[in-house]
Amino acid sequence: MPIIETKHLYKHFDGVRAVDHLSVAFEKGQITSVVGPNGSGKSTLVNLLTGMIPVDGGEIVVAGSVRFTKIKSHEVKDYGITRTFQDVRLFEQMPVLDNVLVVLTERGVFASLFEKHSPYHLEKAEEVLRRVGLWGKRHELALGLSYGQRKLLEIARVLATDADTILLDEPFAGLFPEMLKVVVDICKELKVKGKTLILIEHNMDLIRELSDHIYVLDAGKLLAEGKPQSVLARRDVIEAYLGE
């Protein structure tokens, strides 16, 4: 059963159709990749699914039953959805540990006012920061981290939320091989745990290795879909992607 579906989803920017009546479905417990050349609408799709930008048309269906044409970014957590960002967005002038704790504690105004993080929150933060190898840097400000470490901190933040559906926007870009292995292993572990992963990525080798299903977008439209091996071998996909 799809955990998220889009039906004729539409978004334009100043007349340019960034996502053009797109209908795709992301199956529960699978890794689905969305690929396509720059400007094909991949990140716009993620931004629409997470309420970062308003939908212009069509609808989003969550878990087969919740249909909406408008969603606010603070509501996506209620649907068990979380994400990372293409341009890494950390809480820069906060310690690494606080970057994780902030996604673990109370969401309500009054509840959070009378709460300090508990040993449970600290344990969870330690677990995810150790998983990405950043526990030793927990007291450093996020802005002092290298690019790869910043990506790993975003992954740690996502792991801490324990969300069922995770949208990863170019998680492997700019990572050293050791860091890349950590993120790839995390993706595999999340799949084993039954999480749904939506991957926006350009690394075709990793897409072949990890994906159960892929969608290829071009100019906001669906160009192809299916198993990675067959879709990525298609002539029209290669032409769209490489401009050949």
Partner 1 sequence: MPYVIHLLIMVSIYSILALSLNLVVGFTGLVFVAAAAFFGIGAYVTAIVMTSFGFNFFLACIVGALFSALIAFAIGAVLSKFRGDYYTLASVGFNIIIYSVFLNWQTVTRGPLGIPGIPRPSIFGLSFSDNFSFLILASLLVILVFLACRFIEQSSFGRVLRAIREDEKAVSVFGYEVLYFKLATFVVAAAFSAFAGSLYASYITFIDPSTFFVNESIFILAVVILGGLASNRGAVLGAAVLVLLPEALRFVGFPPDIAAQMRQVVYGLLLVILMMYRPQGLMGEYKL
Sites of contact with partner 1 (CB under 8 A): 50-52, 72-74, 76-78, 82-83, 85, 89-94, 98, 101-103, 105-107, 109, 112-117, 157, 161
CB crowding 118-140: b at 16 or more within 10 Å, else e: eeebeebbeebbebbebbebbee
Q: How far apart are CA 8 and CA 6, in angstroms?
A: 6
Query: Based on CB atoms, which residue is closest to partner 1, 90 or 224?
Result: 90
Taking the complex as a whole, the smallest distance from the CB of residue 201 to partner 1 amounts, in Å, to 20
Comparison of 35 and 158: residue with beta carbon closer to partner 1: 158
Q: Shortest gap between Cβ of 92 and partner 1 (angstroms)?
A: 5
We find the least distance from the C-beta atom of residue 111 to partner 1, in angstroms, to be 8
Nearer to partner 1 by Cβ, of 124 and 213: the residue is: 124
Paired tokens of 231: 């879709």
**Distance of closest approach, residue 150 Cβ to partner 1, in angstroms:** 13
First-last CA distance in the chain: 36
Q: Which is nearer to partner 1, 141 or 184 (CB)?
A: 141
Task: Give the residue with the Cβ less far from partner 1, 103 or 232.
Answer: 103
3-state secondary structure 198-222: EEECCCHHHHHHHCCEEEEEECCEE
CB nearer to partner 1: pick between 50 and 149: 50
How far, CA to CA in Å, does 39 sit from each of 1, 99, 211?
A: 29, 30, 22
Alpha-carbon distance of 28 to 186, in angstroms, equals 17
Residue number with CB closer to partner 1 (195 or 213): 195
- Report, in Å, the least distance between residue 158 CB and partner 1: 9
How far is residue 92's CA from residue 115's CA, in Å, rounded to a whole number? Answer: 23
**CA dihedral defined by 70, 63, 23, 171, rounded to 10 degrees?**
90
Name the minimum Å distance from CB 198 to partner 1: 14
Q: Which stretches of 23-125 are assigned E, i.e. beta strand?
A: 25-27, 31-35, 57-62, 66-68, 81-83
Question: C-beta of 193: minimal distance to partner 1 in Å?
Answer: 20
d(CA 101, CA 9) in angstroms, rounded, equals 34
